[in-house]
Amino acid sequence: MPRQACTTAGDRALFGRIVQSLAASNSRVAAVKLTAQRAVAVRQLEEQVMVRKVSSGAVSVAGLVVFAALASVTSAESTQSTATIEAAAAPGDVLIGEWWTENNEGRVRFTKDRDGSFRGTTTCCIPKVVTADRLAQDIHNPNPTLRGRSTVGMVIIWKLIYDDGEYTGGHVYNPRDGKSYRIQAKVIDRDTIKIRGYVGIPLLGQSQIWKRVRTQPQPGQAAR
């Protein structure tokens, strides 16, 4: 006796769950590419399950056609959402993330403030041996009440503004001497930035090359 397309209770229940899942997914479109990748993986798995169910007679061939149509629509919407998210990202946001300072002496995480400026917060590393160049506490801070704070977890860069391919107008605090300087930065490539601290004018300053954190080498080792 020929099967009726999508008329069994099992078919209706299965497609009900699929539709609910797709609707929930579409209502929570994430702002990262990873979510779209996961959606593709889940859809591929569902397709494999559906094919097995057709082969075993649990779902009709007509039911598989309906599922394929739903999956196609969802795929197009997911691709469109991802493209919209990528287009909405501001050009200067490439700075966001965690960076090894020169010679891997520490790490700084850049985030974006509500006013559009960028700040950098130290995330590593407490030195095993304290020296004049490697401090565990902010002992040179001009504010005596802050001299006991850790050198990890404090904001050392603030008000850095992206403008025409460069980051300017910012300030940087140096815990080695307790002084603040002006700072500018430029992206060399997606994993490399040039940081320059200075007094007065950029010509009177020093530059460092920082690398984006990809792996977790120990301080003193080459970042990759």
Give mean pLDDT, residues 13-41: 53
Give mean pLDDT, residues 159-188: 95
| Contacts for 180 with CB less than 8 Å, ≥ 6 apart | 171, 172, 173, 174
Task: Tell me: pLDDT of 201 over 90.
Answer: no
Question: For the domain 91-212, what is the CATH code?
Answer: 2.40.128.520
Confidence of residue 85 (pLDDT cuts 50, 70, 90): very low
Domain ranges of the chain: 9-88, 91-212
pLDDT at 11: 62
Confidence of residue 9 (pLDDT cuts 50, 70, 90): low
Task: Tell me: pLDDT of 74 over 70.
Answer: no
Confidence of residue 221 (pLDDT cuts 50, 70, 90): very low
Task: Identify the H or E element spanning 192.
Answer: strand 192-198
pLDDT at 146: 95
- Residue type (1 letter), 1: M
